[in-house]
Amino acid sequence: MANQDKINELITKRVEAKLGGGEKRIEAQHAKGKLTARERIDILLDENSFEEFDMFVTHRTKSFGLDKEIYLSDGVITGHGTIDGRIVYVFSQDFTVFGGSLSETYALKICKIMDMAMKIGVPVIGLNDSGGARIQEGVRSLAGYAEIFQRNIMASGVIPQISSILGPCAGGAVYSPALTDFTVMTDKTSYMFVTGPKVVQTVTGEVVSAEELGGAQIHSTKSGVSHFLAKNDEENLLLIRKLISYLPSNNLEDPPSIKCDDPIDRLEDVLNEIIPENPNQPYDILDVITTITDNAEFFEVHRNYARNIVVGFARFNGRSVGIVGNQPKYYAGVLDCESSRKAARFVRFCDGFNIPIVTLVDVPGFLPGTGQEYGGIILHGAKLLFAYGEATVPKVTITLRKSYGGAHDVMSCKQLRGDLNYAWPTAEIAVMGAKGAVEVLEGSNIKKIEDADEKQLYIEKKEEEYTVKFANPYVAAKYGFIDDVIEPRNTRFRIIRALELLSNKKEVNPPKKHSNIPL
């Protein structure tokens, strides 16, 4: 009987721990349109796969009356489970306990699962919903954050790290998500900022709401802090499940491959007509991407940020790939500070986790102007150049239309160790467009012509000559900078063949402590 009493005590404690801050606070969480920490884990992981650690951990603080307010689990649920049968480690912050604020023991719980994930070589997913550091613990809670940050840094490029923001995330708490690979925010109920609206008003006099300062819309469109924007908690968590399906468990594994029932030699005649005859007319690069990928699927990353470039995951013959494509639909697909940084980070992630990169090029150049130059376009453009040049994964590049100037070099050209570089017959590969080239090359001759009509005819003639000579892929092909000019409708098949050819590619960068990327 004594044994049964002890078992009953265990059962009672488990029930107590699962209640978190109690029924009233759970109701308050639901009233805000938010799920509880445990409900979120249930959606994220495969059914009945979660195994919890440290359910009976409590804080160690006696001052400020905290010794009279003790909750099992101490505000964060940690453990492991599976997503589509693959192991992941998870921590889920519980806002019903001290507003999810981080204590020393809370931090140690998170550190424990991060250490385990590194040993085993599996992803870590953090579900964030916290008021920040537990003020009553002072510097100990700050030390706890720094312990987590150090682990984020050591795990970077070793195991995938994903952050879900499902409520407040402020002050020091924002830096762990910023150090991870992907961040998912929920519209209207999540926000991130280093200093809150009250501090902003006190220090700067600026009056701003939490939503305007660091809401999900702001970070998904203006700052780029958030990679994905979800409508609610459930969509947020299902996005993570989908993201994980494209990623390997660690940097020593290949990404998962699934059975493909989409014919690899599927011809798409629509691609032969997709490039407009007018070189200044836009089209949607997403139409190209979804036409060539398996089952027209494309999992876009940073969809609402720097929309002049598109990045995301897809599959070719069941294999996971990263796609980078200039988007003529926005700003003619030019490269600027934001799009360069967005694409560079994505390329480096793919390279770190053995995911081949397919690049679709239609870029008229870098965006000119003082705004870009003052914003450091030179450094930001160099980041993308660096990322492609550093990458050792298979790289397949297809030039669809424009590829001008420095932007041609930056977009995975042959000299940045592009493995297979193809071009459509519509490709224009040159230092600049015909109009700009004629102004430079024929400027002095044009000035000598006094008659306006005659001058216009001369300009048009020279532009046509330049177009015939350079606005095609064959000059680059003549020098071997393009491996082949391909029929657009055959693009899917050529990419799949290229990726199969490169599947055993080995390329090693020179040994060094680390590079000095132009930050």
More confident residue, 173 or 399: 399
Catalytic hit among 121, 172, 196, 376: 172
Domain limits, the chain: 2-244, 269-432+471-501, 434-470
Q: Residue 472: what pLDDT?
A: 87
The band of 458, judged by pLDDT with boundaries at 50, 70 and 90, is: confident
**Average pLDDT score over residue span 121-150:** 89
- pLDDT score, position 1: 57
Rounded to an integer, what distance in angstroms lies between the CA atom of residue 198 and that of residue 2? 56
Q: Does 65 qualify as catalytic in the annotation?
A: no
- Residue count of the chain, please give it: 519
Say which DSSP state 32 is in: T
100 is catalytic: no
What is the residue type of 411? Answer: M
The CA distance from 197 to 20, in Å, is 29
> Residue 67: which pLDDT band, with cuts at 50, 70 and 90?
low
* Bridge-based pairing state of the strands 124-128 and 428-430: unpaired
Handedness of CA 452, 454, 457, 459 (dihedral sign): negative
Please report which confidence band the pLDDT of residue 65 belongs to, taking 50, 70 and 90 as the band edges. Answer: low
pTM: 0.94
Which two three-digit tokens encode residue 201? Answer: 């008003």
Q: How would residue 5 be classed by pLDDT, with cut points 50, 70 and 90?
A: confident
Q: Which tokens in the block code for residue 217? A: 């819309």
Tell me the pLDDT band of 97, cut-offs 50, 70 and 90: confident
Tell me: pLDDT of 230 over 70: yes
Residue 494 has pLDDT above 70, yes or no: yes
As assigned by CATH, the class of the 2-244 domain is: alpha beta
Indicate whether 73 pLDDT > 80: no
SS3 track for 239-293: HHHHHHCCCCCCCCCCCCECCCCCCCCCCCHHHHHCCCCCCCCCCCHHHHHHHHC
Is 433 catalytic? The answer is no
Check if 407 is active-site: yes
Mean pLDDT of 113-122: 98
Q: Tens of pLDDT along 326-356?
A: 999 999 999 999 999 999 999 999 999 999 9
CA 34/CA 188 separation, integer angstroms: 10
- Among 407, 430, 477, 498, the active-site one is 407
Predicted confidence band of residue 58 (pLDDT cuts 50, 70, 90):
confident
Residue from 121, 318, 406, 436 carrying the catalytic annotation: 406
Chain CA centroid to CA 320, Å: 15
* pLDDT value, residue 448: 84
Q: Which of 99, 171, 312, 333 is catalytic?
A: 171
Q: What is the pLDDT of residue 468?
A: 81
Tell me the fold of 269-432+471-501.
2-enoyl-CoA Hydratase; Chain A, domain 1 (3.90.226)
pLDDT of residue 444: 82
Q: Is there a contact between 388 and 363 (Cβ–Cβ < 8 Å)?
A: no
Which of 72-76, 125-129, 162-166 has the weakest average pLDDT?
72-76
Give which of 448, 365, 449, 453 is closest to 402, Cα–Cα: 365
Q: How far apart are CA 191 and CA 181, in angstroms?
A: 18
Residue 7: what residue type? I
**Domains 2-244 and 269-432+471-501 equal at CATH topology level:** yes
Structure tokens at 54: 């440290």
Inter-CA distances, 302 with 125, 190, 345, Å: 19, 17, 11
pLDDT in tens, 139-177: 888 999 999 999 999 999 999 999 999 999 988 889 999
State which H helix or E strand residue 385 sits in.
helix 377-390
From 517, 342, 315, select the one nearest 325 (Cα to Cα): 342
